[in-house]
A and B are shown apart, each in its own frame.
Chain A
Amino acid sequence: MARALHVVTGKGGVGKSTVAAALAIGLAGTGRRVLAIELGHAAGLCRTLATRPMAPGAIAPVLTTPGLAVAYFDGAVALAEYLTRRMRLGRLGRAVMAHPLYRGFVAAAPGVQALLAMGKIRDELVLQRLGDGPRWDALVVDAGASGHALEHLRMPAAAAATFTGGLVHREAEVNARLLADPAVTAVHVVATPEDLPIAEATQVIATLRALGLPIGALFVNQCRPAPPAGVDAMIAALGARGDAPGAALAAVARRAAIAAAEQEAALVGLPAAAAVTRLPRRWLADDAALARSLAPAVLAAAEAAP
């Protein structure tokens, strides 16, 4: 299904940004115009895709991938333009934005930043035009670690319920509808094959389901190949040689076998209904090269997700 809004999340350190970058590269490879967005500070996604230092809210083309651009939306600064337009502040915009009252409200009012960030994403998806059509065919949002991402994903619906009228209510309602529409949106979850990331992914999927948000693919990143049958006998034989190569190989084999066993034990904890895609563990020094190598598998899984 050709969805337009892909959101990627998972526990810290599992490779969310790599998967998001791989998906963006994969989508751009099919000829679509794609904007990859990092929600929050410029970190993993910008490091992987951007070729020079980024400014908040600025959209930079990814030179190595035609059709792909990258941006990050960072709190109040990048959202100022969105707010000016939607609140029709006009020429007073700058003065209002610099006012301590406004800054205090945006900095501290409950959920406002998350709400505005989601509104800005909808702007990019629906309102930004190029000629007669939308400017982008697809957005890939690296929404950060699970807590951060869920905070943003639940905020439009929460705000629509909390603010019973007015502009915030109307905006929040439209954004909440967009996020909940499975024809438009998919939230992809990334984990590594270890207990904690799998437990967190399972919890995120349950929360997404409870919030009525469309669940996309579940990526298990950094998977190891299964050890061959008789690996224990092989380790014993290598150790029995009594020389340095034997001992070193036995140690490497033992570690790999233990990790592979841990991986399979952790994967047992996955929700049965989830569409699981395993991504291989690779040692590539360059994040961008890693993302490119994973792009075909990530794209196929994201598009096949129900």
Chain B
Amino acid sequence: MIGVLERSRLIVTVGTGGVGKTTIAAALGIAAARRGRRALVLTIDPARALAGALGLTGLAAEGEPVPAAALTAAGLHLPVPLDAAMLDQRAAWDAFVRRHAPTPAHAAALLGNRIYQALSTSFAGSTEYMALEEMSRHVDSGRYDLVIVDTPPAAHALDFVSAPDRIAPLVERGVVAALARPAGAAGALARFVARRIEGAAGGRTLGELATFFAALEALVDAAAARARHARAMLRAPGTAFVLVAAPRASLLAETGALAAQLAAAAAPLAAVIVNRAQPPVDAALAVAPTLATIADAAARTWLAERWDDAVAATAAERAALARLAEVVPASLPVVAVTELPRDLQPLRALGAISDQLATTPSVTAIHA
């Protein structure tokens, strides 16, 4: 993992929901800052917990340094500041419109459109598209050696990578233009389709829809150029994808498939991090005589069941890790991060995870 932290300009964490992508992104930021790199952690989630853990009251769209006092109190002595930022989707859209509209009047027309206001943040790929926009804006700002992006909790973890490709057909084939002026669409079939959509959308709304699409059209070239820029950035040397997974056998197929899909999309996968592994216990340990010394029957039963749970968890996670090492390329580091005591102060916990990320040997290396 250290090589990735020292070489990359952009790290993108991907994975299914609930595996701890945000935590890993923050811990990678701490690990990078420890190595003297100016890093920004950009999260997409309304990650109030992350803000709290980093000693911030909230996260803004522009990077804000994690307070030095909070870091010191958690025993973290970073040679350079660490910044954190969060995507505010609505504000990002509005700012995008203002930046790229050809005139202030164009921007005002779109920002004031009822359809834009009601639905601009909810069309397919909208979150991913704005996340990409903010990612490239921060990377291009030159303020950071490394930007770490925590991807949106999408139904499909690869939506983020494919977002530029999905917006491309819309903006590059005159679709917006045709929807704005159905009667002027080229070809009989195009006019038929446009009329059908017109009929479906209904009378008064169509006017607003046309205004929306017309106003959008002025932004299309900018949006297409930005999408191409983000697409190239995701595949550039210096970009590394980190796949975050849970140590569960049932998710192995998904993790293996994700790794394959990233490879197919030419996205440079640098490591798999298996998060929140349980501290392993030794199943061979003879605990029965010790358990028998517990006088209280309820306490004895409770602890015996917890021990059995821990043994089952250790076996299940070990099997999952061994099989994971088989489904990903042998050259890919697979690092297991052990869940920390839950009563640990959040920023200390992030520091401990960053230690684990930097120092834990790869499972693939162990098995090799």
Contacts and interface: CB of A to CB of B under 8 A. Distances in A.
Interface of A: 11-14, 40-41, 43, 47, 75, 87, 89, 92, 95-96, 99-105, 107-114, 144-145, 147-148, 151, 155, 158, 161-169, 195-196, 225, 227-228, 230-231, 234, 238, 241, 243-246, 248-249, 251-256, 258-259, 262, 281, 283, 285-287
Given A41-B155, A96-B193, A147-B153, A234 B303 contact: yes
B179 A148 contact: no
B89 to A, nearest CB: 11
A249 B290 contact: yes
Given A144-B155, A162-B115, A246 B303 contact: no
Contacts of B313: 283
Given A253-B303, A255-B279, 12 more contacts: A13-B19, A47-B254, A87-B196, A87-B200, A101-B197, A108-B124, A147-B153, A165-B203, A165-B205, A166-B205, A230-B296, A252-B303
Contacts of A167: 199-200, 202
A118 to B, nearest CB: 13
A109 B118 contact: no
A289 B70 CA distance: 46
Interface string B304-315: 011101101100
Contacts of A255: 279, 341
B122 A111 contact: yes
Nearest to B166: A107
A246 B49 CA distance: 36
A92 B195 CA distance: 14
B203 A41 contact: no
A111 B123 contact: yes
Interface stretch (B231-239, B280-288, B326-334, B348-356): B280-288
B201 interface: yes
A147 B282 CA distance: 41
Given A96-B196, A230-B299, A163 B189 contact: no
B193 A102 contact: yes
Contact of B306 (A161, A196, A230, A256): A256
B317 to A, nearest CB: 10
B203 A164 contact: yes
A244 B285 contact: yes
A151 B107 CA distance: 26
B4 interface: no
Given A105-B197, A225-B302, A245 B290 contact: yes
Interface residues of B, number: 73
Nearest to A14: B18
B178 interface: yes
Interface in B222-254: 246, 249-250, 253-254
A249 B291 contact: yes
A12 B279 contact: no
Contacts of B7: none
A199 B190 CA distance: 48
A283 B316 contact: yes
B204 interface: yes
10 contacts: A75-B124, A87-B200, A92-B192, A105-B179, A107-B170, A111-B122, A161-B118, A166-B203, A168-B201, A230-B299
Contacts of B302: 225, 227-228, 231
A113 B249 CA distance: 32
B289 interface: yes
* Residue among A101, A249, A254 with most chain B CB within 10 A: A101
A253 B124 CA distance: 47
B98 interface: no
Nearest to A169: B202
B99 interface: no
Contacts of A262: 342-343
Given A13-B16, A162-B119, A164-B204, A252 B306 contact: yes
B255 to A, nearest CB: 12
Contacts of B123: 108-112
B367 interface: no
Nearest to A15: B18
Contacts of B296: 228, 230, 234
B169 A100 contact: yes
A148 B155 contact: yes
Contact of A163 (B169, B202, B249): B202
A165 B199 CA distance: 9
B185 interface: yes
B282 A248 contact: yes
A166 B343 CA distance: 57
Given A13-B18, A96-B192, A227-B302, A163 B155 contact: no
A61 B240 CA distance: 41
Contacts of B183: none
B175 interface: yes
B139 interface: no
Given A101-B194, A234-B303, A96 B18 contact: no
Contacts of B175: 100-101, 104-105, 108
Given A101-B179, A163-B201, A231 B19 contact: no
